[in-house]
Structures are given as C-alpha cells and as structure tokens.
Chain A
Amino acid sequence: MDNAEQKNANEEAPSVIDRYFTRWYRADMKGKACEDHCILQHSNRLCVITLAETHPVLQEGRTVKSINYQISNGCSRLNNKVTGKSKRGGQFVTDFAPLCRITCSDDTQYTIYSCIRGRLLEVNENILKTPNLLLEKPSTEGYIAVILPKFEESKSITENLLRREEFEEIVSKRGQSHPP
C-alpha cells in the first residue's frame, strides 16, 4: 500500500456495482410506459432485480406507502426459503412472474416482475421496514430480489434484455427530462 498516499481525491468514484455486475434492462414492462426494471448480473451469474432510475415510483416527489410481497392469495414471496448449496425449495420464477407490488402515497400501484428465469433466492425484507431505501438507494440497498438463473441458462437469460446503451437510447427518445 506504499503508493496509496498519492491517491488523489478527484479520481472517479468507485462502485461495487460496476466492479462486479453487468447492468441489464427491461423498458416499459408489460407495455406500461416507463415501468423500467434493472437487472444486475454478477459475474457469478446471480441476478439482483432492482427498479431502474426511470421507474415512475422513483420520480420527483413520490413516496411509497407500502410494499407487498404477497402477490396472490396463495403466494407470498416472503415464504420463499432456500436450503443448502443447491438452494432447494426456492420458488422458480419465469420472466413475467410478479415479485411484489408497490403502492405509492397517491394510491397508484406498480407490480415489479422477475424479468428473468431462475430460482428465487431472497427478497429484500429491509424495504418493508424502511420503504425509503427504495427511493434513496434503488440500485443497492433498495433492491427487490435475488434470483439465481440455471447454470446452463446463465448466458441466454439476458438475450431478451437491453444493454445499458440500448436502454439509454430508448429513454432519451421518450423526450422526457429524466436524469440518466
């Protein structure tokens, strides 16, 4: 660590996400305008599902009233339990499986989807206690869920997703003034 003293404060801010993850996107989820999802894929194939910065929930002035992982009468993502290295017992989700519903204080409701096929490993219980995490740190502490794709599908699951540049192009064409 000899050269560390010369480290300069202006250097670009490092980021855990950029170091280990690739960002993938789904725009206008299920045809609903701007309901964009961001999928962070780790180099070990595991995926973290988050809201894209452009998602309506994250727009100016909105607050979250509640988050509900009970996606139907019979199914709550909170009951998901995985055991062992092989993650037995985890719910298997497909691209359009709902993960949770977010209700904003103006009573608008949004469904967040899994975006990829794989085994649900965990959902983020922290956002139930502190919904503000979702607004303040949507791509880290405010994540929605962690999904582990099948080993043999770890490359193919991202085929239907958008790369960052592709996503940014779509966003810029919306002619809105979202910050990138």
Chain B
Amino acid sequence: MLPLKEKDKPIIQKLLAAGCCARCILRFCCLSVQAAYRQPAQETMKELKAFIAVKENTKHQESVALPSTQENNGSYDAAASEAPADPPSKRAKLDPSETAAQTGESAAGQLEESRVCVVCLGILQHLCGTEQATKISETVKKEKYEFDTLVLSVSLPAQLCVREHSCWLHVKKEVREKGLVLDKDDVIQVKEAFKWIMQGLVAKELKGVAVVSKSMFEIGLEFIHLETDSDCHFLAKSCPDCFRPTKNKQSVFTRMAVVKALEKISDATFLQHYPCPPPQPASCCLPLDVQCLHMSVFIAGRYNKFCRSLPQTPWVIDGERKMESSVEELIAAPILSAFRADGFNFSSSGREDVDVRTLGNGRPFAMELLNPHRSRLTKVDMKQLQEEINTLSDKIRVRDLQMVTREAMSHMKEGEEEKTKSYMALVWTQKPIQREDIVFIDDIKDLILDQKTPLRVLHRRALAVRQRVVHSMSTRFVDSHHFYLGLKTQAGTYIKEFVHGDFGRTKPNLCQLLKTDVDILELDVESVDVDWPPAIPE
C-alpha cells in the first residue's frame, strides 16, 4: 500500500500520461519510503492507477488509510486496510461515468508495461531487479574478491538529467502545490531509487555482505543510451561555457557539465529547445559490463641490493630492455600474486645506480597495489611473503615488510633532503699514494659542495647548482692506487661526481683535494637514515 496523498493525484495523472514508469512517478511524488521502490514495479503501477481512480468523495476514508508522506516512514503496510488491488474494470462498473476512460486505459495498460519510461529510460523499470543482482554477484564471485562491505557506484547517461529536468518542469506546479517547501531537490534521484532497490538484492545474493555508502570495494554499473545521446546537444548552444573540450574526455557532455548547464538555463529557453514532457524513447538503456574495483592497499619495507648489475626499475632504452630484471620487479612479483593485484606503483627513499649495492638496514620503499583482489593479509602472511621474496632471489633482500596506510607513505618522502646517508666507495688514484697522503681526509668535517646537475642525469633533469654537505669521511688505505672512502652525507649528494669531479662541475671534489685524478670503482650505500617504516623484530 503506497503512502500517497490526495495532492499526489494530479502529479500521478500527468506523469502517467507522459509515459513515466511507476517508480519514476513515486520519485516525483517525493516519496522517500525505500520499501515502496522495492515492491514489483507492476504492482506499484496497479496501485497508482487504482489510487487515481478513487474519487475525491472517498477522501475521508483515504486520509485514514493513507497517512501522509512526511509522517510515514515505512510503516504504511500497517495502514493497508483498503484493498486497491481491485482491477480498474471492476471499479469502472461501480462508476459508470468513467467507464469509457477506464477501459481505454486498461487496453493501453498492456502497452504501457512494455513502453520504456521517458525519464529513467528503463533503468528503474527493467534494469533493477533480481536478474541484475544475480549478474553482479556472479561477476564479483568469479573474480574472487575479498571484502567485508561494498559500495554500488552507478553511472547514468548524462541525458537523463535533461529528461529529469523536462519532467520536473512538467509537474513543477503540482509538486509545489503538494508541499510548499518541496522543490526539484526533493525529487528522489534515479540513482538513489536504483540503489534502494539494488543494494538489498545484491547483499542477499552475496550472502549478507553489507552494501554501504563508503567501502574499499566498489561495484561499478554503467548504463548508456545511444538513441537519446543528442538530447544534451542543445545545451551547448545556450550554455557554451559549460562545455569546453578537455583533453582526456571523449565527449564534452559529461554529467557534471550537463547539470551545470541545467542550473543556468532559464525555463523558457529550455522549453524552447526541448519537449516537455520528454519524448518517448524506442529502446531501453544498455547496461555495460559490471566493473569491480578494490581500492589500493599500501605496503612498505626496506630492501637490500647485493648486485652491481641490477637497476632499481626496469631499464628500457629505445624500447629495448637493457637488464633482465630490477629491484622493483623482484620485490613486486610475489607481492602482486599474493594480493592478486592488477598493478603497482613503486616508490623509495632515493634510489641507487645500477652498479651500486645497498647494504646495512636497506632502503625504505613503499608500494601501492592497484585493485587488489585480496587485501586481508595478517602479520604472519606478510612475514611469509617476505620470506618468499627473499628465497626467490639472492640479488635482493627485503625486511620490515608490512601493510601501511596511504597517509603513512608520506613519512618516507618527508624531510628526505635533511636525512643523512652513509656510503662506502672504492677509489682509484692516478698518482701513487701512501697511507699518510690520505689521512687528512678523515679530519674534514661538514664540507659544503656546489654540485651542478651531473652530466649523466642532465638530459632529464633541470640544470641547477645544488649545495650539499659531506658531514664526514673516513679512509682505509688499500694499496698505492686504491683506498676505501667512507662518507656520511646529506641525502641527495651525488657521490660519484664528488669523487671524479664530473668535468669540474662538482666543487670541491676529491681530485682537487688529493691533487691528482681519481675515479670511483665501486660504491655501496651503507645506510639510509629514514626511520620509516617501523622496524619489525625478527
């Protein structure tokens, strides 16, 4: 039993005549009782017709039977004392004056059922029911997602807004008479009604998973209706400002742009260009494939790199793969399969060159996992995953692997410049050296360097002179042409360039300090002093 009021009658009559479906009529009656939308559309249609057939003189009885929308919130079933299920024909006999009209409507009734709604283009008629709910749950089950709750996201053709507006103008007067404060915003949106109907059905299909308004797991439903795509086009002429072409959008007629244009356009102009009520479509909306998307999860850890021929990220020159693997791929492969994610974004606190090792506690890194089908890994799972990564390759090693939040990832980049890093370099000198020739280096403290952007990265970075500090150095003599140089520097210092001078573009450099040509043969990162992510005890 629908909680409708006498003042809804003119709205219902007008919309029925215009070719609206039963649920769209409820929307324009501003009926916010969710259960009313969930009952079968054919039943609602029958009730609506019966309701308008009841004459004004039954008003007394009705006002008892049908409480007003405002005071009713789903309790209307209790008031179902009247039996409006009587077919119109039966009642027509009771009221001979209306016979002609009633039989006429009844004959058209069969047609009406199959006619596509002029406002929702069939979405609330034929595209929200058990069948669709089953289709959705089958897609979700097939992809084996792991989730506690889900959110339905619905994308409707933009022209629905135009049709909604046209329909609103059609019954605006009647709606306002129904309630003084009622306005276009009080009309229940197609999307909302759709969700009221579908959420419960989908939840039931998925064995009680809560369908909520915010969730990590989203089921995307999109509808298109090519036949009426041109509905929006007149708006571009009357409101060109709203439809500026943008690079990545296929069409300028986005839902946002159409809504904006409809807010601006005057009723008179709208009515000049678009029929009111909206014209009858021949076909129903087409639902596109159900799209599932789990929001990214984030993980972090530290890695060591033990190999001098391993780049951090895939190395591609002229479309050609240069080295067979990379740090990020070795780490990511087991993680991607554990989380069954579609892809990843890797970031780290700085990076080392292909020929540089990273020792000590390793370098902090974080990964965003895109569309993970699995997301509930325990600490034990993560530990196992870490062991798996470490077993698969001896070129790298991971520790402190853990799940983190998106927000926490910023700790890694925070104040990166102020952090210190420790290195060990094997240095060659052109002139023969003795132990005592290099000890002076141990006494140098907080040496300030002016580093021009190194030639080796200048092709992709801006040219600038950056000041960097070498906090301290220590030397260990090897032989007359070699020594080890330990350095503790500000993050962002280019060590290789400090050693060989980069054509004199880093000043001072080790060549100047030692007054001979020097070169760097090997380099290791010994520590990256960033205290994120938190250490995990073994």
Contact = CB atoms under 8 A, between A and B. Distances in A.
Contact of A148 (B459, B478, B503, B522): B459
B428 A141 contact: no
Interface string B422-458: 0010101010100000000000000000001001111
Interface residues of A, number: 32
A82 B463 contact: yes
B40 interface: no
A140 B501 contact: yes
A7 B455 contact: no
A66 B417 CA distance: 40
Contacts of B462: 82-85, 87
Interface stretch (B90-98, B127-135, B196-204, B480-488): B480-488
Interface string A26-65: 0000000000000000101110100000000000000000
A145 to B, nearest CB: 11
Contacts of B459: 42, 44-46, 148
A116 interface: no
Interface in A1-22: 1, 4-5, 7-9, 13-16, 20
B438 to A, nearest CB: 15
B479 A9 contact: yes
Interface in A70-104: 82-85, 87
Nearest to A83: B462
Contacts of B461: 85
B478 A48 contact: no
B239 to A, nearest CB: 37
A137 B458 CA distance: 22
B363 interface: no
A146 B478 contact: no
A87 B521 contact: no
A5 B479 CA distance: 8
Contacts of B430: 13
B519 A14 contact: yes
Contacts of A16: 500, 502, 519
B460 interface: yes
Contacts of B457: 44
Contact of B484 (A4, A9, A124): A4
Contacts of A7: 426, 478-479, 482, 521
A8 B524 CA distance: 20
- Of the candidates B424, B463, B480, the one having the most CB atoms from chain A within 10 angstroms of its own CB is B463
Contacts of A46: 455, 458-459
26 contacts: A1-B484, A1-B524, A4-B482, A4-B522, A7-B482, A8-B479, A9-B481, A14-B519, A16-B500, A16-B502, A16-B519, A44-B455, A44-B459, A44-B460, A46-B458, A48-B455, A85-B462, A87-B462, A121-B458, A124-B503, A124-B504, A140-B503, A141-B501, A141-B504, A146-B455, A148-B459
Interface of A: 1, 4-5, 7-9, 13-16, 20, 42, 44-46, 48, 82-85, 87, 121-122, 124, 126, 133, 137, 140-141, 143, 146, 148
Closest 8 CB pairs of A and B: A141-B504, A44-B459, A9-B481, A14-B519, A16-B500, A46-B459, A9-B480, A140-B503
Given A1-B424, A143-B503, 10 more contacts: A4-B522, A7-B479, A9-B432, A9-B481, A14-B428, A44-B456, A82-B462, A85-B460, A140-B501, A146-B458
